Structure 1
Amino acid sequence: MNTATIIDGKARAAELREQIAHAVSAFAMEVGRAPGLAVILVGEDPASQIYVRSKGRATAEAGMVSFEHRLDVTVSQVELLKLIETLNVDNRVDGILVQLPLPQHIDEDAVISCIDPSKDVDGFHVMNAGLLMVGKPGLVPCTPLGCLLLLKQHLGDLSGLEAVVIGRSNIVGKPMAQLLLAESCTVTIAHSRTRDLADVVRRADIIIAAAGRAEIVKSSWIKPGATVIDVGINRVTGESGKAKIVGDVEATAIEVASALTPVPGGVGPMTIAMLLRNALTAACARAGLPEIPLLARSDQTS
């Protein structure tokens, strides 16, 4: 029985965070201050609180300054936009992140558009999305960037490989497709309305599963030897009646794929590492410094 190589995102992210911490120290020596990352949390959503705590801890461990703004769930959109505008002109702040989702009375698009694109460490601003589309330097969404690094570390050159991205969100699916195109992959974006999804997936050398549906990708769909990046984090009830976390890919894919990311411990840790990378990239750009090369290992095979 084939057993796939486990792509250890947690270990890779730890290496990257160590590199970033060294680079942050060099930046501080050059500029006279550490990079600053502002995180805004609206409301008390439990998952968002966990994410914000993790990001704050990672920011501090990297030697950056963390500015946390926790706002009541009833805060008005006008008040939130005023805070963002204040952070846009604060020279201590190099990156701004607004934790999503936001309460229903706040327009997420308006909030994202208000962030200075040069401080948009999530890479969601339409200007950064446009730069990615045309292949120009900009801040790239963290999760797709982390996926790409894991792929390049494992496979090396991606040129000519057929990739299927399952999911068309602005956060993962669309930017992931653009990153893969830039690596000269042949890319298909599939989604909930794709006809015969199984047949589309069977063609793929690379599968990026980001549909947000538990085990939507069956192991029987996967071409033997394919590399699978599972972005999904889904809470389901197991046979024992207890909740468990599963990905978007069926667990038995380990018997078919050549390599895959675990859930949890695969893509998630890379997302936070890429957030720190984006904050440092933004800080270097604002200080007129060249981007510090952190990611050389991504061009090596495992």
Structure 2
Amino acid sequence: MLMSGTELARDIVQRASEKAAEYTSRTGRKPCLATVIVGDDPASVTYVRMKQNRCRKAGLDSVHVALPASTTTEELVARIRALSDDPAVHGILLQHPVPGHIDERSAFEAIVPHKDVDGVTTHSFAAMSFGHNEFVSCTPGGIVRLLDAYDVEIAGKHAVVIGRSPILGKPAAMLLLARDATVTICHSKTAGLAEIVRTADIIVAAVGRPRLVRGGWIKPGAVVVDAGYNEGNVGDVDFEAAAHAGLITPVPGGVGPTTIAVLLEQTVDAATRQPDA
């Protein structure tokens, strides 16, 4: 059975849109998301454009900052700090990845916590890990919402997260742990990966390697969340070979829509939480 994120995302965006309209009626302003992109990577450009379009459809404003690939860390940090200081901007998204010469972590940390609607700062990760009502990383947050929408039992289950990035693998593990799953985090240097995955009730593939997870790695009835997206609309799971999974997300149409929906929802929440709201 497929776990489609499309209908869930539509519901999340609809509620966010209603909340945005109420905020606009009360304040005369729209919640505003600032998107920052460095360079002209085609996939990143397309993804940012998609987010801007979804903002408009949901009744949000968007500000787009496009910087050349030659931008330095210092220049990027300065632009993000300016957005952090701008009262008209309620949320800030720095599109990942940035060019290799930029210190991405320094750029993320330039986002003030109350505008970190993508959940990428150290503050947001710590707050999320301790269960505080802060902004979650959008893709992991969308994954948990997707599991809930399909009535997947998380408590007491063995969840294997493949990937340890600070904006996907690690926060996904923390959110599952908070829901009482027993979590194993695997990565590129994990020995015996296939054997570990075979023990999983829930698999989150988030490593960025096409078709890494083979059908034979998945025990019958397991829930498979493919958070990978590779060239050619291919995920991190060999989709055709995973027919014996109990539930599986398609690529595209699974995790992607919920990621954007959570981003818009958290942008509206950021607007309503700020002092002048």
TM-score, normalised to structure 2, is 0.95
TM-score, normalised to structure 1, is 0.87
Q: Does 1:50 align with 2:43?
A: no
Contact 1:139 1:278 in 2 (8 A): yes
Alignment-derived partner of residue 256 in structure 2? 268
After TM superposition, the structure 1 = structure 2 runs for residues 108-127 of structure 1, keeping only pairs within 5 Å, are 108-127=104-123
Taking the aligned partners of 1:196 and 1:153, their CA distance within structure 2 comes to 32
Q: Deviations over 1:223-246 (max 9, x none)?
A: 1111110011122xxxxxxxx321
Q: Shift of the alpha carbon at 1:104?
A: 2.8
Q: Deviations over 1:80-127 (max 9, x none)?
A: 222222211211111011112222332111111111111011111111
Query: What runs of 5+ residues in structure 1 fail to find an aligned partner?
Result: 236-243, 290-302
Q: Does 1:247 align with 2:235?
A: yes
Q: Does 1:283 align with 2:271?
A: yes
Aligned letter for 1:47? A
Taking the aligned partners of 1:180 and 1:98, their CA distance within structure 2 comes to 25
After TM superposition, the structure 1 = structure 2 runs for residues 198-209 of structure 1, keeping only pairs within 5 Å, are 198-209=194-205
Alignment-derived partner of residue 164 in structure 1? 160
Over alpha carbons, which structure has the higher Rg?
Answer: 1
Query: What runs of 5+ residues in structure 2 fail to find an aligned partner?
Result: none
Matched length: 277
RMSD of the TM alignment (CA)?
A: 1.5
After TM superposition, the structure 1 = structure 2 runs for residues 91-240 of structure 1, keeping only pairs within 5 Å, are 91-235=87-231
Q: Shift of the alpha carbon at 1:252?
A: 3.1
Q: Secondary structure at the match of 1:123?
A: coil
Taking the aligned partners of 1:195 and 1:156, their CA distance within structure 2 comes to 28
Aligned letter for 2:131? G
Alignment-derived partner of residue 65 in structure 2? 69
Deviates more, 1:219-228 or 1:279-288: 279-288
Q: Shift of the alpha carbon at 1:193?
A: 1.7
Q: Shift of the alpha carbon at 1:72?
A: 2.1
Question: Percent sequence identity over matched residues?
Answer: 44
Aligned letter for 1:178? M
Alignment-derived partner of residue 294 in structure 1? none
Taking the aligned partners of 1:162 and 1:174, their CA distance within structure 2 comes to 16
Contact 1:31 1:287 in 2 (8 A): no
Q: Deviations over 1:196-246 (max 9, x none)?
A: 1122111111111111111111111111111110011122xxxxxxxx321
Aligned letter for 2:137? P
